[in-house]
Structure 1
Amino acid sequence: MNGLGPLLPHDLLWGMTPAQLATDAPDWAFAVLEAGQPVVVRRALTAPGQIAVGLRGSRREQRYPALLALASVQRGVRPEALCHRPGTRLLPAFQALQQLRGELDALGLVWGVSGSAGFELASGVAALHQHSDLDLILRTPEPFSRAQARELLALLECAECPVDLQLQVPAGALALREWAGTAPRVLLKSAEGARLVSDPWNLQEQAA
């Protein structure tokens, strides 16, 4: 099994085979699975025994949603397992990651690398380019104030490349940039879809 416990969005999983794809899936999707590349867990409701995943090709527009049988998962990697893994190429995203590690560790919260940088660090497959953003997650099970969000955003904006950080909250995820802003409500993404909320940590508001 995967060794991770309950699977979470942004986890990378190995074990999906081309036979599990829909017959009308694009050719590149079959190719990446034949090459043994991982898939990424995405937010969506599924039947028991299945997990919603996404495949990524070599081009930005090559993204494909699929379902993976849990029994097929051979191993997995969480984003937080990648935050201290060194990048093997001299690219702005990896330079930004190196620059930010100490500051993010100092928050005292679990953080990780997702997106193209996480995919490359976990798989060794070149997914980044010179103009790629750095995608990060920060696990915030307890309320993270808007003042804290603004401080963190100011730190990220000094990095070598644009940084997109998502706060992972009990009910889903939201963009740090939105929470650091002034809008009274922010977009919370969950398995059930996206909705505007005033307090992303208020589970009663999410259930209303």
Structure 2
Amino acid sequence: MVNALLAHDLLWGMTPEQLTADTPAWVIDSLRAGQPVVVRRAVSAPGLVAVGVRGRLREQRFATVMPVDAIQRRVKPEDLCQVSIDRDLPSVRALNQLRPLLDDCGWVWGVSGSAGFELACGFAALHEGSDLDLILRTPHALGRSQAQDLVKILEAAECLVDMQLQTPFGAVALREWAGSARRVLLKNAREACLVIDPWNPQEHAA
């Protein structure tokens, strides 16, 4: 189960009893309200998964770990790409606009961040100024010219859209990969490092 869990997955089943006594009250309130936690890109001990708890405020983010055997439900970002919500917000309109274009791109994509959280559980997380966070599963290399074409599609959206390419070895920002820099920042559970090719972890920058 641990190997199957990926960053941005949403998990249900964590309870306040699994937290330490000095945990902020808002974290306990979030869990008692039935909110899921989100899988973080971090190393954890066997039988545990690194997760984050969201609060009502942007700065309310709490890092902790969750027992794997406590997981009752899992929702992946790609499970949410066809889910709709009836809210008149720029990020929602952008998602509706981009959905058919991304469906036709030939890659598996999904919704993460505040939009993914709200789509998955119904708790209001989006506001008028929210960005739209997306992921693209790229088990094989995505060419830089393809990345540039995708950026053009995203730039036509009604709000800022941040897409991460999820390679087998970590995540890289689409806009960075579409740019002119020879090396790009690859983030995985252990480190963030500059690489020439995000699909070849041997090519780390010194």
* TM-score bracket for the superposition, by shorter chain length: over 0.9
Indicate the residue corresponding to 1:6 in structure 2: 4
Q: Does 1:62 find its partner at 2:60?
A: yes
Paired amino acid for 1:110: V
Q: Hey, what's the Cα distance between the residues in 2 that align with 1:154 and 1:119? A: 26
| Cα distance in 1 for residues equivalent to 2:34 and 2:204 | 38
| 2:125 maps to which of 124, 127, 133 | 127
- 1:177-198 CA-to-partner distances (Å, cap 9, x unmatched) read 1101111111100000100111
* Cα deviations by residue, 1:61-115 (Å, 9 ceiling, x for unpaired): 0001010000000001000010010122111111000000111011111000000
Deviates more, 1:149-158 or 1:5-14: 5-14
Structure 2 counterpart SS, 1:161: coil
1:41-80 residue pairs with structure 2 within 5 A? Answer: 41-80=39-78
How far residue 207 of structure 1 moved from its aligned partner, in angstroms, is 11
- After the TM superposition, which parts of structure 1 deviate over 3 Å for at least 4 consecutive aligned residues? none
Question: Given the superposition, is the C-alpha separation of residues 13 and 207 from structure 1 closer, same or farther in structure 2, using an over 3 Å criterion?
Answer: farther
Q: Matches of 1:149 and 1:8 in 2, distance apart? A: 22
When the two chains are superposed, the root-mean-square deviation of aligned CA atoms in Å is: 1.6
The answer on whether the counterparts of 1:171 and 1:206 sit within 8 Å (CA) in structure 2 is no
Residue 199 (structure 1) aligns with: 197
Contact 1:115–1:135 (CA under 8 A) maintained in structure 2: yes
Aligned position for 1:160:
158
SS in 2 for 1:199: coil
Q: Percent identity?
A: 62
SS at match of 2:157: coil
CA distance in 2, matches of 1:25, 1:186: 36
Aligned counterpart for 2:147 among listed residues 145, 149, 169: 149
Q: TM-score when scaled to structure 1?
A: 0.95
Q: CA deviation at 1:203?
A: 3.0
Residue type of the alignment partner of 1:89: R
Mapped to 1, the partners of 2:124 and 2:192 lie a distance apart of: 31
Distance 1:206 1:184, change over 3 A: closer
Q: Which stretches in structure 1 are left out of the alignment for 5+ residues? A: none
Report what 1:105 is aligned to: 103
- From the superposition, tell whether residues 126 and 40 of structure 1 become closer, same or farther in structure 2 (CA, over 3 Å): same
Rounded to whole Å, the distance in 2 between the matches of 1:5 and 1:186 is: 25
- Cα distance between partner residues in 2 of 1:171 and 1:207: 15
2:138 is matched with which residue?
140
Conserved? CA contact 1:56–1:62, under 8 Å: yes
| Contact 1:113/1:136 (8 A) holds in 2 | yes
Distance across 2 between alignment mates of 1:207 and 1:31 = 43
Task: Work out the number of aligned pairs and report it.
Answer: 206
CA distance in 2, matches of 1:116, 1:30: 19
- Structure 1 residue 206, shift from structure 2 partner: 5.2
Q: Deviations over 1:107-164 (max 9, x none)?
A: 1110000000000000100000001000000000000011111110011000011000
Cross-structure match for 1:91: 89
